[in-house]
Amino acid sequence: MPTFTLKINKKKYVVEADADTPLLWVLRDHIELVGTKFGCGIGQCGACTVHTDGEASRSCLIQVSQAEDMEITTIEGLSENGDHPVQQAWKEIDVPQCGYCQAGQIMTASAFLNQNPSPSNEEIRSAMNGNICRCASYNSIEEAVKVASEKLS
Amino acid sequence: MKNSFSRRSFLKTSALASGGMIIGFNLFNACKPDVKPSIDLSKLNYNDFNAFIKISPEGKVTLFSPNPEIGQGVKTSMPMIIAEELEVAWDDVYVVQAPLDTKNYTRQLAGGSQSIRHGWIALRQTGATAKQMLVNAAAAKWGVDASECKVSEGVITNTKGETLGYGDVVTEAAALEVPEEVTLKDPKDFKIIGKGKGNVDIDKITIGKPLFGIDYKEVGMLYASVLRPPAFGQVLESFDASKAKAMPGVVDVITIGEKARTILNEKPNWTVQLSKSNKVVVLGKTTWDAIKGKKAINAVWKEDSKLESTEYHDQVLMDLLNGNKFNTRRKDGNVKQAFAEADKVIERVYESPFLPHNTMEPMNFFADVTPEKVRLVGPVQTPEPAAKVVSEMLGRDLEDISVEMTRMGGGFGRRLYGDFVYEAAEISDKIGKPVKMISTREDDMTTGVYRPSTKYKIAASIKNGKLTGYHLKEAAINGNMYGLIPNFFPAGALENYQVDTANYKSNITTGAWRAPYTNFLASAEQSFFDELAEELGVDRVRLHMDLLDKVKQNPEPKIEYSPERLQGVLKLAVEKSNWGSAPEGIYQGLSVYYCHNTHVAEIANVAMENGIPVVKKVTCAIDCGILVNPLGAMNQAKGGVLDGIGHAMYSDFGFQNGVPKSNNFNTYQLIRMAQTPKVEVHFIESDIDPTGLGEPTLPPVGAAVANAIYKATGKRLTKQPYSLNMNVESSIIG
Ligand code: FES
Ligand code: FES
């Protein structure tokens, strides 16, 4: 099997995997960063969201062979101490129910707020629309993104 | 409310070798009405208990939460109840789920809306007992009477003002007898219960720490992807694995199914989810290796029983509704006569599709079967029955089997069924290695245990402007409403009342889905009452208040709901939603319902935007007794409402020749943020024992929305999902 060099959370990793292995499974099974979650595998749910060069991306749709030159950030690397404004807001609002989708929600929200630090409610609702929460914690997610945006501005 | 309780046999205390004390209690037994200890209490054996309080010599308190977390907040709320009676500060409490002894730890009670209701007294007694023992130890040290001592935040004070911390007396306390009687606190003195407490796992969740079953990993473990029959009614005939076996990441390809089938044959009455077919299992070094290998398997399937389609189900259910093969579940008076004498009879049919659970975390389980033991780890709500089936299936002693529960990425009923546990166990048994079975979303959605498709026919008679009779008929796949439902509203409110049920046995696996039966029955019934009110020319609220007044005047012992509490939530919802005086362009729909011991009223506000009805807001009034954790309760309630809207409006699931028509989120719609209204929740203040919140806010909302859409569009919605039966494109997909 070929090897690939990846830059994840500012660290270098060399992994041996089939070239078509989704980044999601490389993160979860090879590198043991399991915060990034599997939900659908087809780019529909957002559970697997990571940042690639600062953009929110679906790691289930990126093949490891495409990921070599990317600057990858996962939920584990979003902040040093779990205190990114979005993480803080998530704790303040007590967003999670089962919690499974929340890493993906946080990664989507943090990339979005980076580009649009003071969004309108409508902008929040459309930015977060690609992330499914089966527990339907949507009201709290919306509120937490708002709170995070206030912290950022 | 002062309560004294005799010493209960589900408690046992012991000193720890490392210092400190531990109290174990068996919630499983404590929750049963007649507590008969089935266990030898002479020694504290972790195997016999499922929840613990540990107090260290430093005074630190660790609460081992008895229930696994599926997103209902019980991992936070149950420890809150113990901490309240134990009199410790919440900040000093550390909550863990992990069992103390992974080898023996099998006896655990799994969640559901009812956990809090059943555990309420047992959890309080446990906390109170521990507190009393600590106080007794301090009193003995001081040589004073225990009744002269006071406790606050883990510090005991006597009349002279001397103080001792829990840690100072814990060693002595552990040696004391468990007190015969303890007094529970008056709810008005609660300091922790009723205050919003954040999710105890929040820090780990927000930084992506491993918590869920899918995150669990052991050295040497293989990943298994299971190829199951694509259609209900098919079994495996043959397969070719040569391509898969040639893949570098594929370790082995095996089949399973023989062991499961043996039990099915031996115990035909077992209602466990076991399939008759053999299944092909691809074992990979990583999840992706296994998934990829599975795609390369060439399998041939053959028909073993009828391959059913949605059109067929619709037909059989309609035939049942129109036929006479009913079971009468409750009969008051004579509906037939009331209908014959009526001025008018109104009759409507309401229809709902199958629904998969679609927990966000797909089914998965870890199993390590060795000659010495069987270790099972993962997200399952029913560890005890799962262990039992595995022991039968593998021919192993129950004592050799341990089940450890992880946090669960959603349940909604799916994790009550242990099919994925049995598969993992059978695979590991066969290959003799630790293994993790992982379903893909496609596997999960197409080999589910679905909410059965159900249809209702409701008829009511009107005479002289009054409601005189009500007849509900249910036709469902595989099973019918549980026994309490015929005693829900409007039972007791009408002289002539009848509930009949009929079912069709299908080979499609069905089971409990968040708020079983009521999740659709409430939509049907509360939409019907909206039509009735219109037909009678009375205000919707008035109609309900009057019917409930009748119940109050003529109390009927068998009814399940409380007319007072239903009226209470109705009034609160009406008041908070400005019912009847909504602004221009806002159309309101109402629904009021009792289920899972909780009373709920909901009012939906709908506006027309570009010719499409859009739900803007839902006002929800709830009576669930004492609120243990308002923050968690709020989350639960809002989630239930939005989940209810999502499935009533958008989610559809059907079959074509036994094959599910959708298999992932590109073809199956779940509600997304842009479709969600604001949910405003109001709780009735109460000092009645708490009831569940995981389910009751879901059932009523479908009708609240349908009734509001009727006002906005003039169209009555009777078939779910409403968006597909409304002839408007009302969804926005991201
Ligand atoms: S797992 Fe990648 S979007 Fe769902
Ligand atoms: S919190 Fe359960 S899926 Fe979002």
DSSP string of B638-663? Answer: HHHHHHHHHHHHT----EETTEES--
Cβ of A73 under 8 Å from any chain B Cβ? no
- Residues in chain A with CB shorter than 8 Å from the CB of B356 are none
- Residues in chain A with CB shorter than 8 Å from the CB of B76 are none
| Mean pLDDT, range B374-393, rounded to an integer | 88
**Every domain of chain B and the residues it spans:** 3-200, 213-305+363-438, 451-725
Sorting pLDDT into bands at 50, 70 and 90, what band is B691? confident
Cα-Cα-Cα-Cα torsion B502, B504, B508, B510, nearest 10 degrees, comes to 10
Is residue A16 over pLDDT 90? yes
Alpha-carbon distance of B570 to B147, in angstroms, equals 45
Q: Which two tokens stand for residue B84?
A: 């309240």
Could you tell me if the CB of B360 is within 6 A of ligand 2? yes
Could you tell me if the CB of A136 is within 6 A of ligand 2? no
The percent of residues in chain B predicted with pLDDT above 90, rounded, is 67
Query: One-letter amino acid identity for B355?
Result: L
Name the CA radius of gyration of chain A, rounded.
15
Alpha-carbon distance of B384 to B382, in angstroms, equals 6
Alpha carbon of B629: minimum distance to chain A alpha carbons (Å): 12
Of A119-133, B52-66, B93-107, B208-222, the poorest mean pLDDT is in B93-107
Is residue B356 over pLDDT 90? yes
CA distances from B54 to B20, B95, B130 (A): 7, 10, 10
Alpha-carbon distance of A132 to B359, in angstroms, equals 11
| Mean pLDDT, range B149-175, rounded to an integer | 91
Query: One-letter amino acid identity for B418?
Result: G
d(CA A131, ligand 1 centre) in Å: 9
Give which of B31, B18, B17, B19 is closest to B689, Cα–Cα.
B31
State whether A21 and B288 contact (CB < 8 Å).
Answer: yes
Give the dihedral sign, CA A79/A85/A88/A89. negative
Sorting pLDDT into bands at 50, 70 and 90, what band is B64? confident
For residue B70, give every residue at least 6 positions away whose Cβ sits within 8 Å of its Cβ, in sequence order, or none.
A98, B111, B379, B381, B408, B410, B411, B415
- The reported pTM is 0.90
Q: How many helices (H) and strands (E) does chain A have?
A: 5, 5
- pLDDT score recorded for residue B104: 37
For A37-48, how does the pLDDT look when each residue is reduced to its tens digit (9 = 90+)? 999 999 999 999
For B240-253, how does the pLDDT look when each residue is reduced to its tens digit (9 = 90+)? 999 999 999 999 99
- pLDDT score recorded for residue B118: 62
d(CA B548, ligand 1 centre) in Å: 48
Average pLDDT, chain B: 88
Sorting pLDDT into bands at 50, 70 and 90, what band is B270? low
Q: What angle do CA A151, A135, B622 make, to 5 degrees?
A: 95
Q: How many helices (H) and strands (E) does chain B have?
A: 18, 30
State whether B209 and A142 contact (CB < 8 Å).
Answer: no
- pLDDT score recorded for residue B125: 83
Give the sheet arrangement for strand B364-369, strand by strand. B250-256, B279-284, B222-227, B435-438, B364-369, B374-378, B401-405
- pLDDT score recorded for residue B72: 65
Sorting pLDDT into bands at 50, 70 and 90, what band is B14? low
- pLDDT score recorded for residue B60: 80
| Mean pLDDT, range B204-221, rounded to an integer | 95
More confident residue, B94 or B409: B409
- pLDDT score recorded for residue B129: 86
The percent of residues in chain B predicted with pLDDT above 70, rounded, is 87
Q: What angle do CA B690, B696, B702 make, to 5 degrees?
A: 160
Could you tell me if the CB of B639 is within 6 A of ligand 2? no
d(CA B336, ligand 2 centre) in Å: 48
Is residue B107 over pLDDT 60? no
Sorting pLDDT into bands at 50, 70 and 90, what band is B69? low
- State how far Cα B206 lies from the chain centre: 24
Alpha-carbon distance of B170 to B275, in angstroms, equals 52
Q: Which fold does the domain B3-200 belong to in CATH?
A: Aldehyde Oxidoreductase; domain 4 (3.30.365)
- pLDDT score recorded for residue B43: 33
More confident residue, B50 or B211: B211
The percent of residues in chain A predicted with pLDDT above 90, rounded, is 99
Alpha-carbon distance of B385 to B28, in angstroms, equals 13
Query: One-letter amino acid identity for B489?
Result: F
Ligand nearest to the CA of B358: 2
Alpha-carbon distance of B90 to B383, in angstroms, equals 29
Going along chain A from its start, the domains and CATH numbers come out as: 3-78 (3.10.20.30), 85-152 (1.10.150.120)
Give which of B158, B146, B151, B134 is closest to B189, Cα–Cα.
B151
**Parallel, antiparallel, or unpaired for β B374-378 and B327-332?**
unpaired
Closest C-alpha to ligand 2, atom 4: A133
Is residue B13 over pLDDT 80? no
CATH tag, B451-725:
3.30.365.10
Task: Give me the count of residues in chain B.
Answer: 734
Is residue B71 over pLDDT 70? no
Could you tell me if the CB of B340 is within 6 A of ligand 2? no
Is residue A5 over pLDDT 80? yes
Q: Which helix (H) or strand (E) holds B389?
A: helix B383-394
More confident residue, B55 or B622: B622
- Which of B673, B678, B681, B695 to mutate: most A Cβ within 10 Å? B673
Exposed, middle or buried, B659 (CB in 10 Å: 0-12/13-18/19+)? middle
Q: Is the peptide bond before B268 cis (omega within 30 degrees of 0)?
A: no
Alpha-carbon distance of B273 to B420, in angstroms, equals 9
Is residue B11 over pLDDT 50? yes
For residue A97, give every residue at least 6 positions away whose Cβ sits within 8 Å of its Cβ, in sequence order, or none.
A133, A135, A137, B71, B72, B73, B635, B636, B639
For B414-459, how does the pLDDT look when each residue is reduced to its tens digit (9 = 90+)? 998 889 999 999 999 999 999 999 999 999 999 999 999 999 999 9
Q: Which fold does the domain B213-305+363-438 belong to in CATH?
A: Aldehyde Oxidoreductase; domain 4 (3.30.365)
ipTM of the complex: 0.98
Beta strands in B445-528 (DSSP E): 454-463, 466-477, 496-504
Of B173-187, B353-367, B369-383, B714-728, the poorest mean pLDDT is in B173-187
Neighbours of B469 (CB within 10 A): 26
| Mean pLDDT, range B512-517, rounded to an integer | 94
Is residue B405 over pLDDT 70? yes
Packing angle of the helix pair B540-553, B563-577 (nearest 10 deg): 160
- Residues in chain B with CB shorter than 8 Å from the CB of A83 are none
